[in-house]
Structure 1
């Protein structure tokens, strides 16, 4: 992994306690088969905008990441949507670094994911797996998700856990 390849750093942080670092080729495949939303901090901090009509943009445009060169970005958050891009979506790997959790970025990131998912052409079901004490209330409030047990007469959620250890 290259020193400044921020696309892969999220999966190496302890804040993603449910994920373990993967080899670069596996991470590349994982990201290529997902719709991934990233949050980045521009380094060094960009100067404040002069006005709402005149935003700050001190760097030259980059063909890969909009206005910012990749070597001047620090990844501070991520969310992935695994989807067939028509009917089904699975939201996973949502995280924001602790220092950035009080700015509303998590809500904004989830709003972006929600906008993407609700615009799929024939969406039937979006789902996620989360921690009961932390994530459940957040995703209920922000996305309108509910516990699958509330549909126990019509739906059973099944799982099998795999851990491949070397």
Structure 2
């Protein structure tokens, strides 16, 4: 798939996997996120290898991340979305979600899903709604061993 790169002032969103700072991503997910505390680095690396990843960069420094797990035909799961605290309140998360939703390879999908504890208003701006039939969804959940 072709690498997507969009620019806004000093910020860039890129799907180039070579630009991703795995140390920064792992540190944030493992230590600062509520959803992936204690996640092993190897798991982060594997998740990145098997997802369409979006890095947010200020100049050459990575300041945000998100990934989409998808079959590119019917389904997308948005995961691991974050902007570093020092760069928040600048509209970067909105721009990131907008860029993911507009990605040419993700158009026409039947379903996009995500889970969030605190960003419902952000995602609602881009068409996400509560599940109309949550009773149809099931999960197997295994916590990370720390």
The alignment's TM-score, normalised by the length of structure 1, stands at 0.66
Q: Does 1:108 align with 2:95?
A: yes
CA deviations on 1:8-64 (whole Å, 9 max, x unpaired) are: 3122123323113423x433321110000001223xxxxxxxxxxxxxxxxxxxxxx
Which consecutive residues of structure 2, in runs of 5 or more, have no partner in the other structure? 1-19
Q: Contact 1:80–1:93 (CA<8 Å) still a contact in 2?
A: yes
Aligned to 2:141: 161
1:39 to 43, 56, 66: 56
Q: Contact 1:87–1:121 (CA<8 Å) still a contact in 2?
A: no
Q: Contact 2:67–2:78 (CA<8 Å) still a contact in 1?
A: yes
Q: How does 1:20-35 map to 2 (within 5 A)?
A: 20-23=38-41, 25-35=42-52
- What is the CA RMSD across the aligned residues, in angstroms? 2.2
The alignment's TM-score, normalised by the length of structure 2, stands at 0.74
Residue 102 of structure 1: SS of its match in structure 2?
coil
CA deviations on 1:79-106 (whole Å, 9 max, x unpaired) are: 1000011110000100001111111111
Structure 2 CA distance for aligned equivalents of residues 74 and 119 of structure 1: 26
Which consecutive residues of structure 1, in runs of 5 or more, have no partner in the other structure? 43-72
